[in-house]
Structure 1
């Protein structure tokens, strides 16, 4: 908590896998976790619904997103910026 009382918001980078809905993107966020017994790194992924107010991101783009207040039943992340365009 900062002195203003607001919490710091976590931001992650992911890849847009769906842009079919208006102002909503589905983003796949991948992370690497270490297996508790064998020590090998495993890729784990999470699909998040992200609010994109201006519809600037397209399918295949790498985007930076942050946590925000709940916008709908499934959307609780917002788009910060488009990091790069990837060709699919």
Structure 2
């Protein structure tokens, strides 16, 4: 008789990113630009890759130029899949 392994409840670790707010013109929404430093696949030189994220900001606390930490959440709208976790610096 073979014993079946018990299924463990897996917890999803949410992705986090640190970026700079480039726009706060929408209500309760920020645009945050994240710059990743990654090695080039062929030449191994470090290159910068940037990506913009639409972020939910319920309180409207972040301003343009602020460094913020964002966390992945369930979809809030068509484009928003991130929410503001903390404003790191002004």
Gaps of 5+ in 1: none
Q: Secondary structure at the match of 2:81?
A: strand
Moved more, 66-75 or 33-42: 33-42
Gaps of 5+ in 2: 1-7
Query: After TM superposition, what 4+ stretches of structure 1 lie above 6 angstroms from structure 2?
Result: none
RMSD across aligned C-alpha pairs, in angstroms? Answer: 1.1
CA drift of 1:5 comes to: 4.2
Please point out which of 57, 60, 64 is paired with 1:55: 60
State TM-score, norm by structure 1: 0.89
Provide the residue aligned with 2:44 in structure 1: 39
Once residues 87 and 24 of structure 2 are traced to their aligned partners in structure 1, the CA distance between those partners, rounded to angstroms, is: 14
Tell me which structure has the larger Cα radius of gyration: 2
State TM-score, norm by structure 2: 0.87
